[in-house]
């Protein structure tokens, strides 16, 4: 389970992310803050796996909050969340220790992908002008569980057989299938089974 804290001074954005992420079986929002000082207090108390933080916030900005959190909780991953596609802000957040940077106008699926990516040690900087991306722009990110399911799909197993093999509910497998299908649409109308077969050995 990925524990998540969200810091954003616009409550409507927090509510939107909460509504979207509540059905994800591998992510739990454990707290949210409306200013930087509240974020630091919450993070030190809850020790989340991932923090999503706005850069411009009252009392303490996201850059200083990130520096403090990373100093005290080096294993907590931080994703910057901003209205502005600003190279200086991206650089400052990187230097503060952030593992990701996404725009507020990004899709909620992008937010989900970023959370899963940084939790597994990847970086996720959505700025297309950044030439230092650790993850190539055309590479699709799949979580460890999705990779397991893709491998089993490539072996011809049904959703129920996959659920039995991984000791999870069939509905969870179906949810992962749906999410993966959304991802592969970004590179063409490829059937999920065909996609899994083509990359049968990528995830072993």
* Mean pLDDT calculated for residue range 154-179: 89
Average pLDDT, the chain: 82
Give yes or no for a contact between 107 and 114, defined as CB atoms under 8 angstroms apart: no
For the entire predicted model, the pTM comes to 0.62
* Mean pLDDT calculated for residue range 69-93: 86
pLDDT of residue 89: 76
pLDDT of residue 139: 55
Give yes or no for a contact between 24 and 3, defined as CB atoms under 8 angstroms apart: no
User: Which CATH code is given to the segment(s) 2-125?
Assistant: 3.40.50.2300
Residue 188 has pLDDT above 70, yes or no: no
Residue 108 has pLDDT above 70, yes or no: yes
User: Which CATH code is given to the segment(s) 144-198?
Assistant: 1.10.10.10
Which pair of tokens denotes residue 179? 């999410």
CA distance 10 to 57: 10
Give the domain ranges of the chain: 2-125, 144-198
Closest C-alpha among 59, 72, 24 to residue 51: 72
| Best mean pLDDT range from 9-13, 35-39, 103-107, 172-176 | 35-39
């Amino acid at each position: 389970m990925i524990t998540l804290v969200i810091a954003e001074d616009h409550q409507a954005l927090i509510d939107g992310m909460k509504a979207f992420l509540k059905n994800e079986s591998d992510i739990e929002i454990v707290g949210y803050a409306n200013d930087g000082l509240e974020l630091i207090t919450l993070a030190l108390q809850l020790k989340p796996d991932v923090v999503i933080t706005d850069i411009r916030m009252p009392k303490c900005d996201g850059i200083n909050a990130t520096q403090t959190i990373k100093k005290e909780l080096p294993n907590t991953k931080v994703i910057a969340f901003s209205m502005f596609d600003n190279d200086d802000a991206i650089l400052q957040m990187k230097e503060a220790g952030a593992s990701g940077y996404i725009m507020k106008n990004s899709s909620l699926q992008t937010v989900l992908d970023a959370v899963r990516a940084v939790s597994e040690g990847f970086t996720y900087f959505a700025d297309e002008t950044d030439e230092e991306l650790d993850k190539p722009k055309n590479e699709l990110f799949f979580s460890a569980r999705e990779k397991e399911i893709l491998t089993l799909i490539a072996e011809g197993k049904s959703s129920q057989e996959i659920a039995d093999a991984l000791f999870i509910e069939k509905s969870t497998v179906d949810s992962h299938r749906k999410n993966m299908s959304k991802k592969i649409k970004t590179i063409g109308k490829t059937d999920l089974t065909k996609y899994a077969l083509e990359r049968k050995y990528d995830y072993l």
